[in-house]
Chain A
Amino acid sequence: MKYLDEFQDPELARRLFDDIRATVTRPWALMEVCGGQTHSIIRHGIDQLLPEEIELIHGPGCPVCVTPLEMIDKALEIASRPGVIFCSFGDMLRVPGTGRDLFTVRGEGGDVRVVYSPLDALRIARENPDKQVVFFGIGFETTAPPNAMTVYQARRLGIRNFSLLVSHVRVPPAIEGLMTSPDCRVQAFLAAGHVCSVMGTEEYPQLAERFRVPIVVTGFEPLDILEGVRRAVRQLERGEHRVENAYPRAVRPEGNPAARRMLADVFEVTDRAWRGIGTIPASGWRLSEAYREFDAEQRFEVGDLTTVEPAACRSGDVLQGLLKPHECEAFGTVCTPRTPLGATMVSSEGACAAYYLYRRLAGAPTPVEVAPVG
C-alpha cells in the first residue's frame, strides 16, 4: 500500500484525493493513454488510493509494446546482415521477435548499437561510409519529429548509407479505434502530455464531441495525473465532454509548429499494424516519396516479411484495456521479464512489466520462476 507522504507535495495530493472523493457518485472508467502515465500510476499506487468507483484502464500508449511482431522480425533480419550497423534505442534490445531479439542477434555477431538519439545513428553512418547504418524508428508523435529531422539531415548532407526502419504510430486514430470497438467501456481519456507538446490539442475536440468523452491532457508526475483524474471525473459527473489541458507548463494548443512542419514534409500517413491489436487505419507514418530512398524496408527488401504472434500472449487485450496483466494466466508464470512472451513484459513502460515490477496487487499471484529445461 502506498502512502500520501510519498508524493512530492503530500498536502496537495491529499486535497486532490479529497476533491475526487467528494465529487464521485458512480462508477467511472478512465483510460490513461500513455505508458509513462501507467507506470507512474502503478509505481505510486494512485489507482489504489483513488475511490473504488474510479477504474483506471491502461491504454496502448507504450510505443515499444505496440510495435508489431513483423516489424521486430524485419529489424532482426536487417541487423543480422553482414555490412550492417543496426542502431536502436535501448528499449528495443529485449523485445521478443520470432525466436530471438536484438540482444541475441548481437551475441550472434550482428553489429547492434544502442543510441540515445537518432542523430547519433547519423553520425555513425558518416563515420562508417563503407557500412549500411539503419536506425530503428519506433514511437508515437513525440519521437517521430526527431527521426524526421534525422532523415532530413541525411538527405541534406548526402549521407546515403543511412536508412530508417519506420514503425511510427499516432494517438488520435488509436483512440478512435478503441472507441469504435463494441467491447470498449472507456468513459474518459487522460491524454499523453508529451505527444501533445508536439502535436498540440487541436485533434482532440472532434474526438471528445464524437464519442462524448472528456479528454484531459496530463503530465507524467503523480500530481499531474491526479489533477487529470480530478478534472475528468468532474466533467463526467456533470455530463460534459470537453478537452482540457492539465499540463499547461509543457503543452500549448498548437503544439510545436516546427516539429509538425518537419513531420508533414518527411512522413505521410499510412495504415499501421499494432502488436496484438491489428491494423488501425491511418494510424501511423511512413517516409514520404521525397525521402523514400531512406526507407530501410525498401532498401533491404524486407517489406514482405510477415509473422504470427504467439497465441499465449494476450498483450493485445492488455493494450486495449480489456484485460489487466495479472488476470492473464501466463503472467508471472511462463511470461516474465526474463522470458517475455510479448513486448508489454519487456518495455519499461509496458503494463505487464509495471505490474510485475511493482507486484503489489492484492490477490495477484506470486510469480514463480520457471525451472530451466534440462
Chain B
Amino acid sequence: MCLAVPGRVLTVEERDGTRMATVDFGGVVKDVCLEYLPDLRVGEYTIVHVGFALQRLDEESARQTLALFNGLGLLEEEFGDAWERAAEEAAAGPVTEEVDR
C-alpha cells in the first residue's frame, strides 16, 4: 500500500460520473481513478497510489522506476496476493539465510 508506482495510461472513460483509466504497470493492468489528474491522456505516464493517479511523470523516469521496482520485487509486493504473503509470514520457519557481515 505504501508504494506509489508509475504506469502508462491505456484507456480513459467516464464511469458513474467518475473519470477512470486503465493503467499498465509494466504488465500488470489496473483500474485507476483520474479525479485528481482529470486531464491525463492516453499514452501519458502517471504515479499511482492505491488506485488513484496523483502526479504526472515523464516516460524516462517512469521506465527507470518500473525497472528498478521490478528488479527489487516491489511490484509483486504491491500487486501480489497479500493473504498468501501473510500466511507465509505467520508460518515462517527458523532463519537460515547467511548473515551478510
Chain A interface (Cβ within 8 Å of chain B)?
Answer: 1, 8, 35-36, 43, 62-64, 89-91, 93-94, 103, 114, 116-120, 139, 142-143, 145-146, 149, 153, 156-157, 194, 197-198, 221, 249-251, 256, 258-259, 262, 336-338, 347-349, 358-360, 362, 364, 366-367, 369
Which residues from chain B contact A94 at a C-beta distance below 8 Å? Answer: 86, 89-90
Choose from A116, A156, A358 the contact partner of B51 (Cβ within 8 Å). A116
14 contacts between A and B (CB under 8 A): A89-B82, A91-B1, A91-B82, A94-B90, A103-B87, A117-B52, A153-B16, A153-B18, A194-B54, A258-B36, A258-B38, A337-B92, A359-B100, A367-B95
Q: Check B9 for interface membership: any CB of A closer than 8 A.
A: no
- Tell which of A43, A337, A349, A359 touches B2, judged by Cβ atoms closer than 8 Å: A349
**Is residue B27 within 8 Å, beta carbon to beta carbon, of the partner chain?**
no
Q: Which B residue's beta carbon lies closest to that of A103? A: B86
Given contacts A63-B2, A118-B51, A337-B92, 6 further A-B contacts (CB under 8 A): A62-B2, A64-B1, A64-B2, A117-B52, A360-B101, A366-B99
What separation, in Å, do the CA atoms of A157 and B16 have in the docked complex?
9
Contacts of B18 in A (CB 8 A): 153
A210 to B72, CA, bound (A): 39
A-contacting residues, B35-93, CB 8 Å: 35-38, 47, 49-52, 54-55, 57-58, 61, 64-65, 67-68, 72, 77, 79, 82-83, 85-87, 89-93
- With beta carbons under 8 angstroms apart, the residue of A116, A143, A251 that contacts B30 is A116
Q: How far is the CA of A8 from the CA of B68 in the complex (A)?
A: 8
Q: How far is the CA of A256 from the CA of B31 in the complex (A)?
A: 20
B33 contacts chain A at the CB level, 8 A cutoff: yes
Chain A residues, CB < 8 A from B52: 117, 145-146, 149
Cα–Cα, bound, A31→B90 (Å): 31
Residues on A with beta carbons closer than 8 Å to the beta carbon of B1:
63-64, 89-91, 139, 143
Given A194-B4, A250-B47: A369 touches B93 (CB 8 Å cut-off): yes
Give B71 Cβ to nearest chain A Cβ, in Å. 9
Q: Which of B51, B67, B101 contacts A117 (CB 8 A)?
A: B51
Is B97's beta carbon under 8 Å from chain A? yes
B57 lies within 8 A of A146 (CB)? no
Assess whether B29 is interfacial by the CB under 8 Å rule.
Answer: no
A256 touches B86 (CB 8 A): no
Assess whether B47 is in contact with A197, with CB atoms less than 8 Å apart: yes
Which of A114, A249, A258 interacts with B58 by CB under 8 Å? A249
| A residues near B92, Cβ cutoff 8 Å | 336-338
| Contact between B100 and A360, CB atoms less than 8 A apart | yes
Give the chain B neighbours of A358 by CB distance below 8 A. Answer: 100
By the criterion CB–CB under 8 Å, are A93 and B83 in contact?
yes
Q: Would you give the shortest CB distance from B90 to chain A, in whole angstroms?
A: 6
- Give CA–CA (A366, B54) in the complex, Å: 41
Interface pair B54/A143, CB less than 8 Å apart: no
Query: Across the interface, which residues of A come within 8 angstroms of B97, CB to CB?
Result: 359
Contact status B86-A116, CB under 8 Å: no
Alpha-carbon gap, A153 to B47, bound state (A): 22
If the complex has contacts A250-B55, A256-B36, are A117 and B2 also in contact, measured as CB distance less than 8 A? no
Q: Which residue of A lies closest to B86 (CB)?
A: A93
A-B complex: 3 closest residue pairs judged by Cβ atoms = A90-B82, A117-B51, A89-B1
Per the bound structure, the CA–CA distance linking A90 and B65 in Å amounts to: 22
Residue from B1, B50, B83, B94 whose CB has the most chain A CB atoms within 10 Å: B1
A116 in contact with B65 (CB, 8 Å): no
Taking CB atoms, residues of chain A closer than 8 Å to B38 are: 258
By a CB distance below 8 angstroms, the chain B residues around A118 are 50-51
Q: Nearest-CB distance from A249 to chain B (Å)?
A: 5
Q: Which residues of the other chain, B, contact A142 by a CB distance below 8 angstroms? A: 4, 49, 54
Say yes or no: A198 contacts B72, CB within 8 Å: no
The CA of A8 and the CA of B33, in the complex, are separated in Å by: 31
Query: Which residue of the partner chain, among A8, A91, A348, A362, contacts B101 with CB atoms under 8 Å?
Result: A362
Asked if A36 and B47 sit within 8 Å, CB to CB, the answer is no
Name the A residues within 8 Å of B47 (CB-CB).
194, 197, 250
Residues of A with C-beta under 8 A to B51: 116-120, 146
Which residue, B30, B37, B54, has most C-beta atoms of chain A within 10 A? B54
> How distant is the Cα of A349 from the Cα of B77 in the complex, in angstroms?
12
How far, in whole Å, are A146 and B1 apart by their CA atoms in the complex?
A: 12
CB distance from B35 to the nearest CB of A (A): 6
- Contact between chains at B89 and A337 (CB < 8 Å): yes
